[in-house]
Each structure stands twice: as C-alpha cells, then as structure tokens.
A and B are shown apart, each in its own frame.
Chain A
Amino acid sequence: MNRTISGGRIGVALGLGLSCLAMQVSAQGTPGTPTASDGIAKYREMIADGNPAELYEAEGEELWKKAAGPKNATLEKCDLGLGAGVVKGAAAQLPRYFKDTNRVQDLESRLMTCMEVLQGINPQEIIDAPFGKGAKKPVEAIVAYVVTNSRGMKINAPMKHPKEKEMYALGKHAFYYRGGSMDFSCATCHDDASKRIRLQDLPDLTSQKGAALGWGFWPAYRVSSGEFWTMQRRLNDCYRQQRFPYPNYTSDVTIALSAYLAGNAKGGVVNTPGLKR
C-alpha cells in the first residue's frame, strides 16, 4: 500500500455512523426544482407554529405550584439562581455555581436539589428512571415550564466563579475527547459550520453563533420521538450515537458540556423550547 497514491483525496469519514436510517428520498433533480435544503426549510417553517412543548409547559407550571413528595411542599421556594421562587429568566443564566451545594448545576440537577430539599424526593429515583418515564417525567415537564420563562432573553450563564470556569474547561476538554468504537468526539461533527449529516446541518458549537443555534434551541420537542427532550436527554442521545457508554444523569461531563455550550453561546437568544426533527 502506497501512501503517495492517496494524496489525502478520499479524505475523512466513509462510514461515520450517526445511526441514520436510510432516507427514502430520491433525486428528481430537474433544474429549477427546489433543493432538498429548501424543502426542509419549508417543512421546519410549517411545523414551527404550534409546538407541542406547550403541553409539557402547562403541565410543568402546575407541578411547580403543586405540593408533592414526602414533605408535601411545592417548588415555589426553589432557587434556580436568581433567588427563591424566581423562574423568569433563570434558565438563561444556567448552568451556574450554587453555594448551598458547592457545585455547578444545570437546570435538571438544580431541580433535583430543590425536589430533594423542599419536597423530600430521593434524587436517585429521578436519576434511575428512564427518560420520559417515572420520576423523570415531572422533572421534564418542569424543565419545559422553566425554559419557556426565559424565551426571548439573552443567554447569559455567568462563568465567573472559579468552579464555573473549571466546568467550562472540563466541558471543552470533553468536547474534543475522542473515544469509543468509532473514535468520535463532539468536535468530529460540530467544529465546522459548513458540514451536515445526511440533510441535517451541523452547527459549529465552538463558535458563538453555532453554540447559540444549539444551546438556544434546546430543550425542544422532538418530532421524531414525539416527546419533549431536556438538555440532559439531548446530550445522552448524542453520546449514544457517538457510540459512547451511558453518561450518568447530571454527571460532571453532562453539566460540563452544558457549561461549555452556554459559555460559548453567551449573548445569543433563548428560543426554548425548540421544535426539532
């Protein structure tokens, strides 16, 4: 085998396998017909009106105000970073460092803290439940409620506390960490704005603009599964498709990646909950 023949022309990624099923799209490539990307843009525009995430949001608002758990208390005194009970704008400033837990927390990790402290709910039950089921279900609805209350605001996770900076650095390291049977890292697909997988454009999450496109639109209602996906679930499925093992719910790597994305996206607009394929 002779290296000089290659000239690097076959290039990178034959077989990069993000688990895409076969798409049943055939080329009818007559000149003047709209491109596949145009078609998809129209599709997205058409479904944008009427986001079923609203159904989760309504449920979450009710759950926030409803007494629950062994302590039979509501979450209305939960401090999401802007003071006890402040929901408006809180999600736009997460993840952040919390003194009481001495930890950088994302929204879901913080909600677990509140549910444990205020309501007496065992966080392990939430951690152990599968996404969309059991003890995770109420958390997800509350996430929908909280993130809706930051819609239109600027992404502004503080990133000032040493622990926040540490989390950001860990997130960056994790972003470039290659491993597993396919050698993938987040950066394999997300460090260049001009690429796509199948027909899906890939944002460059290392740039402010690209990170805002990602972080600013998740959590989202995912039409492919017909469920509202929190950021934890989004990252979990990224890692699944990366052929990594299972990232534990609210583990360091998941919060660190959120810190990295939120930090990069700073100044962008919160569009959550999004509506995604």
Chain B
Amino acid sequence: MNPKRRDTLRLMAVIGLMASTGLISQAQAAEWNKLAFEGKSLDDVLKALGGTTADKSAEVSLNAPDIAENGAVVPVGVSTSLKAQQIAILVEKNPNVLAAHFTLPAGTEPFVGTRVKMGQTSNVMALVKADGKWFVTSKEVKVTLGGCGG
C-alpha cells in the first residue's frame, strides 16, 4: 500500500470515528467517503461507514421495480419508520457496491429517492442507520441489458 493511500485510509477512519461520536458536524461528514465507495461488499461498506453489522429489518422499505427495462436507470426509493440519520443504497453485483449515501439532519424525513446504474441482475440493498445501529433490507431487480440499442 502506498503511503498516500494509507494516509487517506487513516484519515477516513478518523473522520468516521469523529462522525460516529458526533465530534464533527454533518456538513463535514458529508465529505466524499472514498473508502466506502471502493467497497466490494456490504461488509466493506458498513465498515467504511463506521458500522459492523446490519440487522435485517422490515421497518426499512425499499421501493424498486422487479424488472428494469434498462440498467442505466434503475429507480430506487428508501423509506423507513425508523429515525434514520443515514441511508445508503447498494447494488450487490456492481464492481463497487455502494451507489449513494445520504445524511439526514434532524427534521428531514427518513426517505430518499434516486436512480442508480446496474450492470446486471442483482440484489439492491438499502442500509439505514438509526439510533447508532445499522439496518438493511434487500430486493432483487432483474436487469434487461441494453435492450435493442445494439
């Protein structure tokens, strides 16, 4: 590992710690978390976000189509009855699994909708952090590659 990368990792870890312990404001925490976006699995991403495990929760709801007519644009909505502070959207079979991460200050509804790219049929996962714990739910989205665009 080159020194620069090690520094980055250390820095990210420190920021992660500071964020999780409330030492820095949310604006600073919204800096781009490189480590998380380089994660190859749910565990990698969880770790980079300062978590360890995520419990499956029926209180996290993931709204995504069963079939996407095009993998370039897959609509994903996440909502929860939990008091979410953070939400993340992951695509299990993408080269890097984390697609987007959201920080929700107090007063912001536990909901987000966006659109992500999927290289192939895969599970899509929604991670929610509430009361210091992580929760997850997932759903398979079938992807039709390219369609007739040849």
Contacts and interface: CB of A to CB of B under 8 A. Distances in A.
Nearest to A43: B65
B67 A224 contact: no
A19 B65 contact: no
Contacts of A23: 144-145, 147
B148 A24 contact: no
B66 A277 contact: no
Nearest to B67: A39
Given A19-B148, A39-B142, A47-B73, 10 more contacts: A24-B144, A25-B67, A25-B143, A42-B67, A46-B64, A197-B148, A198-B144, A199-B69, A224-B72, A224-B146
A25 B144 contact: yes
Q: How large is the interface on A (under 10, 10 to 19, 20 to 34, 35 or more residues)?
A: 20 to 34
A226 interface: yes
Contact of A20 (B70, B121, B148): B148
Contacts of B72: 223-224, 226
Interface in A202-254: 223-226, 241
Contacts of A224: 70, 72, 146-147, 149
A36 B67 CA distance: 7
Contacts of A34: 66
Interface string A161-203: 0000000000000000000000000000000000001111000
Nearest to B118: A24
A42 B148 contact: no
Interface string B59-75: 00001111111101101
Nearest to A34: B66
B121 A223 contact: no
Highest count of chain A CB atoms <10 Å: which of B77, B143, B145: B145
Contact of A198 (B120, B121, B147): B147
Nearest to A20: B148
A5 interface: no
B150 interface: yes
A21 interface: yes
Given A25-B121, A25-B142, A39-B67, A47 B150 contact: no
Contacts of B66: 34, 38-39, 42
Interface of B: 63-70, 72-73, 75, 77, 115, 120-121, 142-150
A47 B115 contact: yes
A26 interface: yes
Interface in A22-65: 22-26, 34, 36, 38-40, 42-44, 46-47
Given A199-B69, A223-B73, A224-B70, A21 B146 contact: yes
14 contacts: A18-B148, A18-B150, A20-B146, A21-B149, A24-B120, A25-B143, A39-B142, A40-B65, A40-B67, A42-B65, A200-B147, A223-B70, A226-B72, A277-B70
Contacts of B64: 46
A34 to B, nearest CB: 6
Contact of A44 (B69, B142, B145, B148): B69
Nearest to A197: B148
Nearest 5 A-B pairs (CB), nearest first?
A19-B150, A39-B67, A21-B146, A43-B65, A223-B73
Contacts of A43: 65, 67-69, 75
A20 B147 contact: yes
A120 B66 CA distance: 51
A18 B73 CA distance: 22
A24 B143 CA distance: 6
Contacts of B63: 46
A82 to B, nearest CB: 35
Contacts of B115: 47
A44 B69 CA distance: 8
A228 B148 CA distance: 17
